[in-house]
Structure 1
Amino acid sequence: MCPAIRPRRRVLRVAAWTLALVLVVAAGLTGVVLWQHSYDLDVRRVSIRHGGHTLNGVLATPRDGRGPHGLVVYVHGDGPVDATHDDGYRPLWEANARAGYASLSWDKPGVAGAPGDWLDQTMDDRADETAAAIAWARARTDIDSDRIGLWGASQAGWVLPKVAARTPVHFVIAVSPAINWLRQGRYNLLAELRAEGASPSRTEAEIARSDTTRRLLARHATFEEYVRAMGGDPGGMTAGRWNFVSRNHTADATRDLRALRGVPVLLTLGGHDVNVDTVDTERTYSEVLDEGGALTVERYPDATHSMVRQSIERSDARTALTALLSPRSLFADGFLDGQRRFLQELGSPARPRPSHPLTVSR
C-alpha cells in the first residue's frame, strides 16, 4: 500500500467519526427539544362568536378524564398576542392541568389571521370579549361552570375587574397588573432610564417629552398633532397605537377592583419589574380587597415583569436557548408551582374564604 494514502484514510476516518458524533449530538438535542416541548395536555382549536365576529381560540384540557374541569380564562397583556403567546403559555397551562383545570385563550383581533384590530379596542371592549368567552365556556359539558376564573397579566389589570363586574368568576390570578395607566407609564419611563444609566439631561428631556404627550392626550389631539409636537419624530408611535392610547390612557383599576371583593385573588409580583410599580399595585389591591376579600400575594424576588428569571431575560441568547431546551425553566423558581397550588386549594364556590390578605415571598 502506498504510504501517502494512509494519512488520507486517517483524515477520512476522523471526518466520518466527527460527522457521526455531530449526528448523535443533533439527534440527542432534537430528542431533548421534543421532550421539553411535550406537555401533558389535550389542545384543540375552538371558535367563539362575539359581537358579530369570531374569536379564534385554543382550549387546553387535562388528560385525566375526570371532567368536567374548572377553567382558567386568559386575558393577555399589551401587544399583538396570539392564543398561545408564542407557546409561552403552555407551561402555565400544564400547571393548570395538574390542578385539574382547563385553560382557554384566543388570538387578539388582527393577530394570526383573527378578524379585527386589537388597537381599536378599549378595556371595556376587552372585558366584553372575555365575558362572551366565559358564556361560551359555561355552555360546554366538559367545563364546570361554577369553577371558571381569570388569569391576566400587565394590561389585563384593567380588564380583570371589569369582567368580574359583568359575570361571576370563581377566582382571579393577576400577574404584574397595573393600576393607573399614566402612573404606570411614568414609572416605566423612569425605571428604564435608571436601568440604562441615563444622564440627568436625557432624563429631563424624556420627562418633558412625556409631559407633552400627556397634555396632548388630555385635549384629544390627533396623531398628526402629536408628530408635530415631537418635532417630526414620533419615536416609534404609530397612528394606530396613538388611537389605542388615546382611548385608554385614563384607565384606572382602583374603583373597578371592588368587583373582586369576596373573590379569591392571587396577586403575583416580580422583584425586577420595570414596567409596573409593584409597590403601588400591592398597596391598592390590599386596600380595596381587604374587606371581605381573599387576597394572596406572592412575590418572586428574581422575577421580571413577565415572571421570567432576571438572569435569563437580560440575555437574548440565554432566553432563546432556555425557551428552546427547557421552557419551564424560563419562569422564576416556584411560579408555576404557586399557580398550581392556588388552583388546587380553591374550594367549591360556596366555601367560606379567609377575610385577610396572605402574603408569601418566594
Structure 2
Amino acid sequence: MRPKTQPRRRGLRITAWSLVTVLVMAAGLAGVVLWQNSYDLDEQRVTIRHGSHTLNAVLATPKDLRKPYGLVVYVHGDGPIDASHGDGYKPMWEANAKAGYASLSWDKPGVAGAPGNWLDQSMDDRADEAAAAIAWARARPDIDSDRIGLWGASQAGWVLPKIAAKTPVSFVIAVSPAINWLRQGRHHLLAELRADGASAARTKAAIAKSDTTRRLLARHAAFEEYVKATHGDTDGMTADRWGFISKNHTADATQDLRALRGIPVLLTLAGHDINVDTADTERVYRKVLAPGSALTVKHYPDGSHSMVDQSVEQSDVRITLTAIFSPRSLFVNGFLEDQRQFLKDLGRDGNGS
C-alpha cells in the first residue's frame, strides 16, 4: 500500500502550500489596501450649531505640527454628499495637512443621518451654513483665524463668493466651478449628446425638452405641471429635486465673484469637463477678478469634471481598483500637489506674503 499513499501525501502537501501561498498573498494585498487607505492626519467628529440646526462634521488636522493650524473649509458640489465624500476628500485633506492646514467638512442635511434635507436649500442657505462653520472654527484655539479659506467644487461655484461676502476668508480653491446655472445645464446636455454620438433628431428633441423645462421654471410651475408637460418622461426628476432646481436655476456667480477680489484664488479646470464650460468659467473669473489680481489658474488636460484622470474614470474596473489600491492616484497628475503648494505659498499670515 505504501506506493499508493505517497502520491496522495505529496498531493496534500502541494494543496497545503498552495493554500498558504494564497493566504500570504491575500494578507499582503490586505496590507497594501490598509496602507494606501491610511492618511497622515488625525480625524475627529464634531457638531456645529447653525441656528436651530446642527452640522455633523469632520475636522481633519495635521499630525505633529505646531498649532494653530490654518483651515480649509469644504463646500460640496451637487448631490447627497457626506463629510468625506465617501473618503474621496481624504487625499486632499492629507495634502492640506502637509501644508500645515486642517480641513473641515460636514454631511449635507439628510445625508448619513444628518438632520434636514439638502434639496430644501438655496445657494444662500448653503453660504449661511458655511459662514456658521467658519464662526465655529474661529472660536477654536487650535485654528488660526487669520488663515481660514474655502475649497469648493462644481455647484459650490455659486456658493463660494456668497460665503466670502458674508465673512472674511483668506483664500479660495475653486474646482471646476460653474458660472451660470442655465448655461451650465445646456453645456452639459449638448456635451453628453455629443459624447453619445446622438443623431440630429435626438439632439433637436432633447433641446426642445430642455426649453420646455426652462419655460416651466421661469413661471414657477409646480412639479405636476412638469410631469404633464413631459408626458411622464421625467428622467428621474422627483418633486424634491424639482423644488431644488426651482429655487436655484437663476444662480449666476458673475456679480458675486466681486467678493473674491484681492483674495488669493486657485482656479482648477479640467480638459475633459462635460459638466462645466471651463472656457466660460475662466473668462468670467479673469474678467471679474481683473488682471493683476491674486488669481492662479491651473489646467489639467487629462482630467474629468471630478479631477479624476479621464482614462481611469472611463473604466469601472480601473476606477474601482485604483480607489482600493491607490486612492491618491485617482486624481489627475499634479492636482493634489498644486493644492498643497498653493497653501504652502500663502505663508503664515495666509495672504501670500
- Residue identity in the other structure for 1:295: L
Aligned to 1:10: 10
- Residue identity in the other structure for 1:260: L
The Cα of 1:352 is off from its aligned counterpart by 7.1
Secondary structure of 2:168's aligned partner = coil
Distance 1:30 1:291, change over 3 A: same
Is contact 1:262–1:292 with CA below 8 Å preserved after alignment? no
Aligned to 1:317: 317
Q: Which deviations, in whole Å up to 9, do the C-alpha atoms of 1:96-148 show, x marking residues without a partner?
A: 00000000000000000000000000000000000000000000000000000
Aligned to 2:156: 156
Aligned to 2:115: 115
The Cα of 1:201 is off from its aligned counterpart by 1.3
Secondary structure of 2:11's aligned partner = helix
Aligned to 1:256: 256
Aligned to 2:72: 72
Aligned to 1:305: 305
- Residue identity in the other structure for 1:218: A
Give the root-mean-square deviation of aligned CA atoms: 1.3
TM-score normalized by the length of structure 1:
0.95
Residues in 1 aligned to 2:10 and 2:337: alpha-carbon distance in whole angstroms = 54
The Cα of 1:232 is off from its aligned counterpart by 1.4
- Residue identity in the other structure for 1:299: H
The Cα of 1:53 is off from its aligned counterpart by 1.3
Residues in 1 aligned to 2:351 and 2:329: alpha-carbon distance in whole angstroms = 34
Is contact 2:170–2:350 with CA below 8 Å preserved after alignment? no
The Cα of 1:8 is off from its aligned counterpart by 2.8
Is contact 1:267–1:298 with CA below 8 Å preserved after alignment? yes
TM-score normalized by the length of structure 2:
0.98
Aligned to 2:227: 227
59-68 vs 112-121, which moves further: 59-68
Secondary structure of 2:247's aligned partner = helix
Aligned to 2:179: 179
18-27 vs 5-14, which moves further: 5-14
Residues in 1 aligned to 2:307 and 2:70: alpha-carbon distance in whole angstroms = 24
Secondary structure of 2:308's aligned partner = coil
Secondary structure of 2:3's aligned partner = coil
Secondary structure of 1:329's aligned partner = helix
Q: Which runs of 5+ in 1 are unaligned?
A: 354-362
- Residue identity in the other structure for 2:255: R
Percent identity over the alignment is 75
Is contact 1:122–1:247 with CA below 8 Å preserved after alignment? yes
Aligned to 1:105: 105
Is contact 1:130–1:163 with CA below 8 Å preserved after alignment? yes
- Residue identity in the other structure for 1:61: T
Aligned to 2:274: 274
Aligned to 1:295: 295
- Residue identity in the other structure for 1:241: R
Residues in 1 aligned to 2:287 and 2:180: alpha-carbon distance in whole angstroms = 15
Distance 1:153 1:207, change over 3 A: same
How many residues align? The count is 353
Residues in 1 aligned to 2:15 and 2:240: alpha-carbon distance in whole angstroms = 56
Is contact 1:261–1:291 with CA below 8 Å preserved after alignment? no
The Cα of 1:203 is off from its aligned counterpart by 1.1
Residues in 2 aligned to 1:136 and 1:292: alpha-carbon distance in whole angstroms = 33
Distance 1:348 1:41, change over 3 A: closer
Q: Which runs of 5+ in 2 are unaligned?
A: none
Is contact 1:223–1:239 with CA below 8 Å preserved after alignment? yes
Is contact 1:49–1:55 with CA below 8 Å preserved after alignment? yes
Residues in 1 aligned to 2:70 and 2:3: alpha-carbon distance in whole angstroms = 76
Q: Which deviations, in whole Å up to 9, do the C-alpha atoms of 1:304-331 show, x marking residues without a partner?
A: 0001001110011111110000000000
Is contact 1:261–1:292 with CA below 8 Å preserved after alignment? no
- Residue identity in the other structure for 1:15: T
Q: Which deviations, in whole Å up to 9, do the C-alpha atoms of 1:174-195 show, x marking residues without a partner?
A: 0000000000000001111111
Residues in 1 aligned to 2:192 and 2:321: alpha-carbon distance in whole angstroms = 25
**Residue 209 (str. 1) matches residue 206 (str. 2):** no
